[in-house]
Structure 1
Amino acid sequence: MRYELTDLRLFQAIAESQSLSGGAAAIHITASAASYRLKNLELALGTPLFVRAARGMELTAAGTALLGHVRELLRGLERMHGELGRFSAGLKGNIRLIANSSSLNGFILPSVGRFLNAHPEVNIDLEERASREIAAAIAAGEADVGVLAGEVETQGVRWMPYAVDELILAVPADHPLTREAQAQPGGVRFGAALEHDFVCPGRDTSNVVFLRDTAHRLGRSPNVRLHAPTFDAVLALVEAGVGLALVPRSVAAASLRDGRVVGVRLAEEWARRQLNLVLPAAGKLPAFAEAFAEFLLGDPHVAATRDALP
Structure 2
Amino acid sequence: MRGQAISGELPAAATLSRLDLKTLRLFAAICEEGTLNGAARRAAIAPSAVSKRLAELELTLGCTLMVREPRGMRPTPAGETLLHHTRRMLASAEQIALELAEHARGVRGFVRMLANLSAIVQFLPEDLQAFLAAQERIRVDLEERPSGGVVAGVEEGAADLGICAGGTDTRSLTAHRYRGDRLVLVMPADHPLAGRPALALSETLDYDHVGMHAASSIYAALRDEARRLGRPLRLRIHVPSFDAICRMAQAGMGLGTVPEGVYALLGPQMRLTAVPLTDPWAQRALTLVVRPGALPPAAALLLDHLRAAGP
Give the TM-score taking structure 1 as reference length. 0.63
Gaps of 5+ in 1: 23-29
Is the 1:99–1:134 contact (alpha carbons within 8 Å) kept by the matching residues of 2? yes
Work out the CA distance in 2 between the residues paired with 1:212 and 1:233.
19
Work out the CA distance in 2 between the residues paired with 1:123 and 1:49.
37
CA-based RMSD of the aligned residues comes to 4.8
Is the 1:101–1:206 contact (alpha carbons within 8 Å) kept by the matching residues of 2? no
Q: Does residue 195 of structure 1 match 2:206?
A: yes
State the 1:150 CA deviation.
1.8
Q: Which residue of 1 aligns with 2:255?
A: 244
Q: Which residue of 2 aligns with 1:124?
A: 141
Is the 2:207–2:234 contact (alpha carbons within 8 Å) kept by the matching residues of 1? yes
Of residues 143, 146, 164, the one that matches 2:159 is 143
Please list the CA deviations of residues 164-218 of structure 1 after superposition, one character each: whole Å capped at 9, or x if unmatched: 1011111222332234x34xxxx42212222111234456555444433443343
Is the 1:128–1:205 contact (alpha carbons within 8 Å) kept by the matching residues of 2? no
Q: Which residue of 1 aligns with 2:107?
A: 90
Letter in 2 for 1:251: V
Letter in 2 for 1:143: A
Letter in 2 for 1:99: A
Counterparts of 1:197-216 in structure 2, within 5 Å, are 197-202=208-213, 205-216=216-227
Distance 1:40 1:297, change over 3 A: farther
Letter in 1 for 2:276: R
Q: Which residue of 1 aligns with 2:124?
A: 108
Counterparts of 1:15-26 in structure 2, within 5 Å, are 21=32
Identity %: 31
Please list the CA deviations of residues 239-283 of structure 1 after superposition, one character each: whole Å capped at 9, or x if unmatched: 444421111111111345669222222221111011101011112
User: SS where residue 90 of structure 1 aligns?
Assistant: coil
Q: Which residue of 2 aligns with 1:290?
A: 300
Letter in 2 for 1:134: V
Is the 1:158–1:282 contact (alpha carbons within 8 Å) kept by the matching residues of 2? no
Distance 1:270 1:203, change over 3 A: closer
Work out the CA distance in 2 between the residues paired with 1:9 and 1:89.
30
Q: Which residue of 2 aligns with 1:167?
A: 183
Work out the CA distance in 1 between the residues paired with 2:234 and 2:208.
5
Work out the CA distance in 1 between the residues paired with 2:143 and 2:216.
14
Q: Which residue of 1 aligns with 2:5?
A: none
Gaps of 5+ in 2: 1-13, 34-41, 68-73
Letter in 1 for 2:260: R
User: SS where residue 176 of structure 1 aligns?
Assistant: coil
Distance 1:196 1:121, change over 3 A: same
Of residues 145, 150, 153, the one that matches 1:134 is 150
Q: Which residue of 2 aligns with 1:26?
A: none
State the 1:160 CA deviation.
0.8
Q: Does residue 178 of structure 1 match 2:194?
A: yes
Q: Which residue of 1 aligns with 2:11?
A: none
Q: Which residue of 2 aligns with 1:27?
A: none
Distance 1:244 1:140, change over 3 A: same
Letter in 2 for 1:158: T
Letter in 2 for 1:178: A
Give the greater-gyration-radius structure (CA). 2
Is the 1:170–1:262 contact (alpha carbons within 8 Å) kept by the matching residues of 2? yes
User: SS where residue 199 of structure 2 aligns?
Assistant: coil
Distance 1:3 1:259, change over 3 A: closer
Q: Does residue 279 of structure 1 match 2:281?
A: no
Letter in 2 for 1:286: P
